[in-house]
A = this chain, B = another copy of it.
Amino acid sequence: MPQLKYYYDFMSQPSRALYIFLKLTNIPFEVCPVALRKGIQHSDEFKEKLNRFQKVPFIHHGSFKLAESIAIVRYLSREYRDVVEDHWYPKNSQEQAKVDEYLEWQHTNTRLHCASYFVYKWLIPNMTQSPPDANEVSKHESNMLTCLDQIEDLWLGQGHKYIVGDKISVADIFAATELEQPKMAGFDVCKGRPKLKAWLDQVKQDCSPFYEEAHVITNKIASQAKRAKL
């Protein structure tokens, strides 16, 4: 098996998800942190040699380069099928399709809306040292609330312990890491959503200690946001 190099930044939600997956499954990999805040991803050298999309996460598996976290998790589940336990990404066609259903749904739902809220409420104001644009925050908060209610009702409301069925899968890891993002902007995604809270606590427990490890920085920022609100 060729060497696996994993490029990531813990401020990126899918970077955290893939890191947790790699650690939980014991896939051997070399850690290659990329400090997005320093902007090195914008260089021509980065684009040419590392990742033409100039984002994280991505992998180099020998000479094979791959971006897009969901494509990566599927690829790794195939390549390392002897070590990745089946529940993470089931081989059974219908069970796999149900995990895929969430992984495809989340792009323009959990991912888009939680990230947009965080960007307008926290990231842009912090980068520009200006107050948040109230209209943008309100629009993205509204989209995020609809999405959170759909997670509570359409996903967790199906009577299963996890997003898809009664066993933890990669869908749960990807969902949970996205929901950590609005916390940094002081927003409690669990409030008024008992199923979401119970599920998130369970996922954190199942993914310990790697979940905490991947969220050291985001938890620090979330604590500051919480203190600022008191």
Total residues of chain A contacting the partner, CB 8 A: 29
Q: Flag if A75 contacts B93 (CB, 8 Å).
A: yes
Q: How far is it, in angstroms, between the C-alpha of A100 and the C-alpha of B97 when the chains are bound?
A: 14
Q: Flag if A94 contacts B64 (CB, 8 Å).
A: yes
| Residues of A57-72 whose CB lies within 8 A of B | 64, 66-72
Q: Flag if B108 contacts A108 (CB, 8 Å).
A: yes
Residue in B closest to A155 when the chains form the complex, CB atoms? B52
Q: Flag if A101 contacts B68 (CB, 8 Å).
A: yes
Contacts of A96 in B (CB 8 A): 74-75, 78
Contacts of A94 in B (CB 8 A): 64, 75
- Which among A72, A75, A101, A103 has the highest number of chain B CB atoms within 10 Å? A101
Query: Taking the nearest CB of chain B, how far is it from the CB of A227, in angstroms?
Result: 33
Q: Taking the complex as formed, is A79 at the interface, i.e. its CB lies under 8 A from any CB of chain B? A: yes
User: Which A residues lie at the B interface, using CB under 8 A?
Assistant: 52-53, 64, 66-72, 74-75, 78-79, 93-94, 96-98, 100-101, 103-105, 107-108, 111-112, 154
Contacts A68-B100, A70-B104, A75-B93 given; 7 further ones with Cβ under 8 A? A71-B97, A71-B104, A75-B96, A75-B97, A78-B93, A108-B108, A108-B111
